[in-house]
Homo-oligomer: A and B are copies of this chain.
Amino acid sequence: MPANRRTTLKDLARELGVSTATISNAFNRPDQLSPALRERILGTAKRLGYGGPDAKARSLRTGRSRIIAVILAESLTYSLNDAVASEFLSGVAEVLDNRGHTLLLLSSRQTQAQIPGSASMADGFIVYGLIPSLALLESLPSQSPLVSVDFDIAGRPTVHVDNEAACHAIAAHALRTPAKRPGIINLRLTATPLNGRISSDHRLLPPERTITRSRLSGFHRALGEAGVDTEQVPMWNIEENTFEVCAPVISEILDLPASERPDLLLCMSDRIALTVVTMAEQRGLRIPEDLRITGFDGIAEGQYRAPRLTTVRQNSVEKGRIAARIILGLAPAEPSLLATELLIADSCP
């Protein structure tokens, strides 16, 4: 026996003169053996440097790995820096942690149509956000539990919020004070990537390909009800919810001649809205007098400093918790619709 081989359950059994089954029971089912023997086993285990049953072997034998994979639509770099995704993940992690499971993080990179082999040992998959490639979904073990978040996969449970209703609500609130020139800043709405003004030439992604399409519907419905011709409402598109990508588009908007510059901007994320706030202040615009701004998500950062953001709060942490509970079988595997909350603050009172 090679000296550097790690100690196994079998070594322990030989050393103690008991069967491997008993050792296994000592670690997994204390009621199956006498306390005295169990003590002896645990003691010898420590002495021999045996750290408990090998996780790889156990997972093969039992068929379960106690690992749950979260597949993020965006790159890890982006997702980890996005407040909403981070909150979601921490909700997932909280539940998993409490049940002795661990979190495997994957991002769906456009370039690859398969998850890495190692990920397929996960006991379940949480797919967060719309995955670029359907092939990737098909590469997942077909009988593993799977829950989608913020989009639908036929026949699978999903966790989401009513984006249309929430956006209708916030826009309706905003429009109680009439706006001369309302505008909308969208997130990933056009069929081809675009950062800037959306003209009538641009095709939009179909509703099943982007969550923001239903946000737009909500905005439009409220605008229509307020007697605004939605065709006349200017729209801009932003591809990635980061400061760097938002900033140039927002410059373009705020640097319009005053007669064309919107006095109300409905934004599809708090990140966008906050960037608008910052850049508007730099230009000496008064909020909300010169420009009213609404966001979406309800991230903490939006409430730190004045003007606090008027926005729709969605509970991303809870979303994560629910997704995790469904995957672990602690909650029924059925669609779950979370409530949203209108948060009315300084940026659009």
Which residues of A does B touch, CB under 8 Å? 4, 6, 49, 51-60, 63, 65-67, 69, 75-77, 80-81, 83, 86-87, 89-90, 93-94, 97, 100-107, 109, 116-121, 139, 141-143, 243-244, 278, 282, 300-301, 304-306, 317
Nearest neighbor of A88 in chain B, beta-carbon distance: B80
| A66 adjacent to B117 (CB under 8 Å) | yes
- Return the chain B residue nearest A278 by Cβ: B305
Which B residues lie within 8 Å of A143 (CB)? 4, 6
Task: Known A59-B56, A60-B60, A243-B304; judge A116-B89 contact (CB<8 A).
Answer: no
Partner of A52 from B69, B86, B117 at Cβ < 8 Å: B117
Number of copies: 2
- Identity of the chain B residue whose Cβ is nearest the Cβ of A85 in the assembled complex: B80
B89 touching A121, Cβ below 8 Å: no
* Cβ contacts under 8 Å, A243 to chain B: 300-301, 304
* CA gap between A56 and B121 in the complex, in Å: 6
The CA of A100 and the CA of B90, in the complex, are separated in Å by 25
Complex CA–CA separation, A49 to B51 (angstroms): 37
Query: Could you pull out 17 A-B pairs where Cβ atoms are within 8 angstroms?
Result: A6-B141, A52-B117, A53-B117, A55-B117, A56-B56, A56-B59, A56-B60, A56-B65, A59-B60, A59-B121, A66-B118, A75-B90, A76-B89, A77-B90, A80-B86, A93-B105, A103-B104
Nearest CB of B to A58, in Å: 7
Residues of chain B lying within 8 A (CB to CB) of residue A52: 117, 120
Residue from A81, A87, A278 whose CB has the most chain B CB atoms within 10 Å = A81
Residue of B nearest to A279 (CB): B305
A219 to B265, CA, bound (A): 45
The 7 A-B pairs with the shortest beta carbon distances in the complex, nearest first, are: A77-B90, A66-B118, A55-B121, A80-B86, A76-B93, A56-B60, A56-B59
Least distance between A293 CB and chain B CB atoms (Å): 15
CA distance A342 to B280 in the complex (A): 30
CA distance A75 to B244 in the complex (A): 28
Q: Which residue of B lies closest to A77 (CB)?
A: B90
Bound: A87/B81 CA distance, A: 7
A89 CA to B103 CA, complexed, in Å: 14
Are B80 and A80 in contact, CB atoms less than 8 angstroms apart? yes
Contact B118 A67 (CB under 8 A): yes
